[in-house]
Amino acid sequence: MDRLEVFLSELLDINPNTDIGLIESAYKKADRMHEGQLRKSGEPYIVHPAKVALILADLGMDDRTLAAALLHDTVEDTPYSLEQLSKEFGREVAFLVGGVTKLGALVYESKEERQAENLRKMFLAISKDIRVLIIKLADRLHNLRTINYMSAQQIQEKCKETLEIYAPLASRLGMYQVKFELEDIALKYTEPEVYEDLVKRVRERKAERETNIERIISRIKDVVAEYHIESEIKGRSKHFYSIYSKMKAQNKPFEEIFDLTAIRIIVESVKDCYAVLGMVHTLWRPMPGRFKDYIAMPKPNMYQSLHTTLIGDDGRPFEIQIRTWSMHHVAEYGIAAHWKYKEGIGQDQEELKLAWIRQTLEFNQDSEDPREFMEMMRTDLFSDQVFVFTPKGDVIELPAGSTPIDFAFKIHTGIGVKCVGARVNGKMVPINYVLQNGEVVDIVTSNNSKGPSMDWLAIAKSSHARQKIRQWLKKQDRTQNVEKGREVLEKAVKRKGYDPGDLVRAHWVAKAAKHMGYSNVNELYAALSYGGVVVNRTITKLADFYQEEYDRKVSGEVEAPAPAKQKKPAQTQEDGSRIIVDGMGGMMVRLARCCSPVPGDTIIGFITKGRGVSVHRTDCPNIQGLSEGDKERLIEVAWDVSKSFGTFDADFSILADDRKGLFSDISRTCVEMDVNISGVNLKTNSDGSVSITMTLSIGSVDEMHKVLRVLSQVESVREVYRARG
């Protein structure tokens, strides 16, 4: 059989009711559009979308989702457009493909900004159809299954992203099968020694563990049979990443992690769940504080089950999970279970209780900063959760570590602003009290409250609360906020080693404010004062604007400003007395900043209008680009070898693969060569590399060649060259 026949056969084995016409058409279109493209494994590209479709079929997804999976890379990687796809396969399939497609046409300042914008786009699509995320998770799962063909750096980046974003998203959807496999593969490649050691240790204790499990299951079956309760009982080993996380969280060696296996009991009804719970509690002593009732209080991803940890006959703890068959389907497949077992429910976002997606989108509308967005994802979406109650018994979900302030703003902004304290389980607590699962929280308010202060931003855990606090602070004393924001920015600029006079200029700050979405410069300063903007991002913007002006091509006497740098005494390169001008004396001579010539460079003079002779390198773009008329103003100049030259500022451009400690290594190399760094500008590129422009104090061309040679040997540096202008 050819590849298509094999694929269709596997698909029909999973679901005999598959719409073969639609799926075969989508497969052939994808195969044709990806023709000639190979995966890193050397396989035809169609293998990947076909495998993704099979993963989704196994999850029970519908035919249009499978068609979208087959076509999901065509728009991004081939000339095939969404418009064409919509005409051939319908708007629904086109929407799913468009939601999965990454933003490729825009240029971002950093990998984090690109990642944040792609997630924003995906969440917007998810809010309209959750299947977008399910396709994305299946896509990531197959990519991880074949990740060994990628480069070492790509493997680390993909695995880190998987652990930080995609595995938590799978957890949010209740797709634990996908989550566990994603985490285990990522662990295998990020911590290979730890992973192999865990595999070995778990295998060594397998026989002993299985014997113990069989003994436990046998006792449970006997007592359940007495009460004529229909059940299925089996053991389930914990996945490796779960064991690894527990070892880290509890700071324990493997030998002290006992509950490596959970016993799962599946019954027919909720009544049976609680009956079986009582039975097992009579067989073994439960561990205090280790019982969780997710039936009465389901997780946000709809997961329901009873969890209890018991002390075994050998003194070792083990876990039992009790659930109904319908709960089990949701636990295994998460949201996908609604397509697998309940036709039509998959489209109803309210029934799926995906409030967290709507909250993400609300934050998306208010946050311009990708770092803030990613921080919100990590704290509000991907962190552990705590469940507390209002006095009326309503359940409130918050990030673990939340305080009464987070609770108050989750209830209503007006309550948060007037919060002066809280009662937890009837006792007064301060506003920085850390809430625990199951506590009843009652906020104490006062109309005389002065409202939030800057300190509240450090106390609040949730992004929602911090956002509301910032908005409130923004409306307060505007004059004071503006002045404080200006002070915050100038201090931060100094800490970065820049002269505030270089960067904090009115037209650049105004430009930064507009670029970052503020109506005027005072709005930006006010935001800086209450923590509404990441200060480092503002400085990066200002440095970029400065660099743009510095890099601007000049002609004739018009020169760009010097690179932004630390404030220090005037450089010796301003002194043109070391230059001999052919046939002319008494003229003011200055070295051009656009190309920064140093002794040993071949140089040429340009007679400016009213500013003397400007000395350039002969390869300076500004000189090479002169019109024929302006070339008449060129004049021969030379270095005066009878004088001591001192040092001159020269610009170097470095292109390197971004990594931790890169600039530290570059700086240390310069120190070892006794070369002073007088200016730096760094910019992250969309491909993961970083471009660094450095202004170094150089004594001669020979020293420059040495600097180029030594810097090129720094790890991760791709190329080093002297900036031409």
The pLDDT tens digits for 235-272 are: 877 788 888 887 887 787 877 776 677 899 999 999 99
Residue 690, burial from CB neighbour count under 10 angstroms (0-12, 13-18, 19+): buried
CA distance 5 to 28: 11
**Sign of the torsion angle spanned by Cα atoms 675, 677, 681, 687:** positive
Contact 225, 248 (CB under 8 A): no
The CATH class that applies to domain 199-347 reads alpha beta
Residue that has been written with the tokens 């998460």 in this structure: 334
* Catalytic-role residue among 43, 77, 368, 397: 77
Contact 663, 682 (CB under 8 A): yes
The whole-angstrom distance between residue 438's C-alpha and the CA centroid of its chain comes to 31
Torsion angle of the four alpha carbons 388, 401, 357, 60, in this order, in degrees rounded to the nearest 10: -80
User: What mean pLDDT is predicted for residues 570-580?
Assistant: 53
Contact 44, 38 (CB under 8 A): yes
- What is the SS3 assignment for 445? strand
- Choice between 26 and 173, residue whose per-residue pLDDT is larger: 26
- What is the SS3 assignment for 366? helix
Residue 559: pLDDT band by 50, 70, 90 thresholds? very low
CA distance 365 to 490: 29
* Whole-number percent of the chain with pLDDT over 90: 18
Q: Which of 568, 561, 533 is nearest to 546 (CA)?
A: 561
Contact 636, 691 (CB under 8 A): no
Q: Which residues, in sequence order, are CB contacts of 408 under 8 Å at separation 6+?
A: 415, 416, 419, 422, 443, 465
Instruction: Read off the tokens for 412.
Output: 């209503």
Other Cβ atoms less than 10 A from the Cβ of 430: the count is: 10
Whether 76 is catalytic is yes
Say how many residues make up the chain: 725
Instruction: Read off the tokens for 585.
Output: 């004396």
Distance in Å from the first CA to the final CA of the chain: 62
User: What mean pLDDT is predicted for residues 286-295?
Assistant: 84
Q: Is residue 517's pLDDT more than 80?
A: no
Average pLDDT value for the chain? 78
Q: Into which CATH architecture does domain 555-725 fall? A: 2-Layer Sandwich (3.30)
**Sign of the torsion angle spanned by Cα atoms 530, 536, 537, 538:** positive
The pLDDT tens digits for 667-722 are: 778 877 877 776 777 777 777 788 888 888 777 777 888 888 888 888 888 888 87
Domain 383-474, what fold?
A: Ubiquitin-like (UB roll) (3.10.20)
CA distance 556 to 631: 10
Q: What is the CA radius of gyration of the chain?
A: 32
Q: Which residues, in sequence order, are CB contacts of 396 under 8 Å at separation 6+?
A: 387, 388, 389, 390, 407, 410, 411, 441
Instruction: Read off the tokens for 601.
Output: 């460079």
- Choice between 725 and 609, residue whose per-residue pLDDT is larger: 609
Torsion angle of the four alpha carbons 334, 338, 340, 343, in this order, in degrees rounded to the nearest 10: -170
CA distance 89 to 84: 9
CA distance 128 to 349: 8
* Three-state SS letters, 33-47: HCCCCECCCCCECCH
Q: What are phi and psi of 620, to 5 degrees?
A: -65, 130
* Strands lying side by side in the sheet with 603-607: 589-591, 613-617, 603-607, 634-635
CA distance 245 to 353: 28
Instruction: Read off the tokens for 37.
Output: 């493209």
Question: Highest-confidence range of 41-50, 239-248, 371-380, 470-479, by mean pLDDT?
Answer: 41-50
CATH 1.10.3210.10, applies to 3-198: yes
Domain segments of the chain: what residues?
Answer: 3-198, 199-347, 383-474, 478-551, 555-725
Other Cβ atoms less than 10 A from the Cβ of 191: the count is: 16
The pLDDT tens digits for 307-366 are: 998 888 878 888 899 999 988 888 877 766 666 544 444 444 344 445 555 555 554 444
* Catalytic-role residue among 76, 293, 368, 630: 76
What type of residue is 368?
E
The DSSP output letter for 431 is T
The H-or-E segment that residue 623 falls in is: helix 621-624
